[in-house]
A and B are shown apart, each in its own frame.
Chain A
């Protein structure tokens, strides 16, 4: 046991003022430094991500003009006739994420309204863990589900649907992100003060009109935060689209044909044997930077909105 009496008090805020200036034990200092360092790992990680992406992306733009990257509608870095326009990959990403949000927004919002305004407490206790379970299923399992189960099912209704398509990948991704929208939206709805609901009832509104004219509008910033966060997750989602949406960069918004998302492209290239230092190798970092920028902006925006409703 270390000597205790000598250092009593000077390590704690309550009595710090009394003992200020007395040196801390060296072993305590070492431990504090170690703790700070493990905290700093997160800062190093951020710096590492930014540096890795930036270094290879700048090297990429020494060979390819930024103008071509953001305006060309052809993405053929592996062909003899190389084109480096990221728009087809962005279109694929926007398409699958758009389908996902189109599914997840109505279902997630309705689930949130039910859980916050109608559900008896036993139902809430049973449903919330079930929804959380969905978020714990690895995305590769959803990918298998989309390819083996959903696509054949949809092909029975839509014979023109290709074996790889944006539609079934987007639908499955939508189901996957329902819990994200419902849980954050439910927090937002529950944080709306009861006096607002009572005021609405007092003015003679029914429960439904109170929900749609008062509670949901009052929770808009929280609901929007949840949708943006879910969209950012959908944009960065990799395995579902890599398995079920195809690997053909195509500048289209047709959900029935194979497309390629930014994430799929990164995975596709790193499965092959592309040597370091080539332009092909650097494309995945350029695409990664684009992806990182998009998700980062959305996450920050979502955090801002979420803070807004929490402050209230």
Chain B
């Protein structure tokens, strides 16, 4: 009797387990399916709108004449500037923390700061940009103010990725170099950095790709949604793709929603290209270094 009961229980337990696993798989698939549905609906709404004119036109009150030229150019400038600012600062901070700062009090303080900054909402960075760069430092509602704000926002990403890359270089490599008489900085510049470069660059590209989609900080710094000129300097007013998308999404006419979908396709396309570059860079360089990809 005991045996039969146990067997029945076992059968039921197996059934419950199967049901539960099926539910779990559903839970994992829900976000994936949502993502797929999102992409499909974007492509079906936006792709037909993508014409050459859409890329070369300025915004307009008429949805079918409006284009993304100033906002796309603004985004490209912004990303270049953000990378130029965030890359040296982030890699420098990572080198300090990994190569110089071990067990120093200052390094611990910096680490705690970076961990906390990573959790600060991006709209708060916008307030910082507005109060510090736009007003206090007098940069105005300019390209450079936007780039500085975005650079601070993605700095934690660059630092974390660069530290991980630096950590993959074996201690023995550093010691060998030092034993040959190189100074600490010579070791870092000629041995450690070249070896960790694939990881560092990948991290930076991913950081820029994250900055590319940020909207709220740029709204606060004062990016414009209706621009009839291209930025001609660091202090020029500017627009950016997410800002243009936000503006079009906020309008009631359906034709502008189609424009928004098309602009989102362009934005996601640019991010996809960046990520593909990151993958290629990493593989190429790892091959050069003679490590398996």
Contacts and interface: CB of A to CB of B under 8 A. Distances in A.
B222 A270 contact: yes
A114 B30 CA distance: 13
Contact of B181 (A5, A52, A284): A5
Interface in A1-56: 2, 4-5, 7-9, 11-12, 14, 25, 27-28, 31-32, 34-43, 45-46, 48-49, 52-53, 55-56
Contacts of A5: 181
B128 A48 contact: yes
Q: Which range contains the number of A residues in contact with the other chain?
A: 35 or more
Interface of B is mostly: helix
B107 interface: yes
Contacts of A34: 92
A110 B123 contact: no
A49 B124 contact: yes
Given A42-B110, A52-B127, A134-B31, A144 B20 contact: no
Contact of A107 (B27, B95, B127, B222): B27
A272 to B, nearest CB: 11
B28 to A, nearest CB: 4
Contacts of B20: 208
Nearest to A277: B135
Contact of B183 (A2, A142, A292): A2
A282 to B, nearest CB: 11
Interface string A52-63: 110110000000
A296 B91 CA distance: 26
A142 to B, nearest CB: 8
B185 interface: yes
B200 interface: no
A23 B133 CA distance: 39
Interface in B170-211: 174-175, 178, 180-186, 209-210
Contacts of A159: none
A157 interface: no
B100 interface: yes
B215 A239 contact: yes
Nearest to A298: B119
Nearest to A143: B249
Interface residues of B, number: 92
A67 interface: no
Interface in B268-286: 268, 271, 275
Chain A CB count within 10 A is highest, among B31, B37, B88, B209, for: B31
A47 B123 CA distance: 17
Contacts of A238: 121-123, 215-216
A42 to B, nearest CB: 4
Interface stretch (A82-90, A145-153, A195-203, A251-259): A145-153
A184 interface: no
A276 B135 contact: yes
Nearest to B188: A31
Contacts of B16: 206, 208
A237 interface: yes
A4 B178 CA distance: 10
Interface string B81-118: 00000001111110111001100001101100111110
A300 B10 CA distance: 44
B138 interface: no
Contact of A175 (B30, B117, B174, B260): B30
B230 interface: no
A52 to B, nearest CB: 4
A193 interface: no
5 tightest Cβ-Cβ pairs between the two chains A and B: A236-B121, A138-B213, A38-B92, A114-B24, A52-B131
28 contacts: A4-B181, A7-B183, A12-B175, A36-B96, A39-B93, A43-B110, A43-B113, A45-B113, A53-B127, A127-B28, A138-B271, A140-B242, A140-B264, A141-B42, A148-B45, A178-B27, A229-B119, A235-B121, A236-B120, A239-B246, A242-B216, A266-B216, A267-B216, A284-B127, A288-B127, A292-B124, A295-B119, A295-B121
Interface of A: 2, 4-5, 7-9, 11-12, 14, 25, 27-28, 31-32, 34-43, 45-46, 48-49, 52-53, 55-56, 106-108, 110-111, 113-115, 118, 127, 130-131, 133-134, 136-145, 147-149, 175, 178-179, 182, 206-208, 229, 232-233, 235-239, 242-243, 263, 266-267, 270-271, 276, 284-285, 288, 291-292, 295-296, 299-300, 303
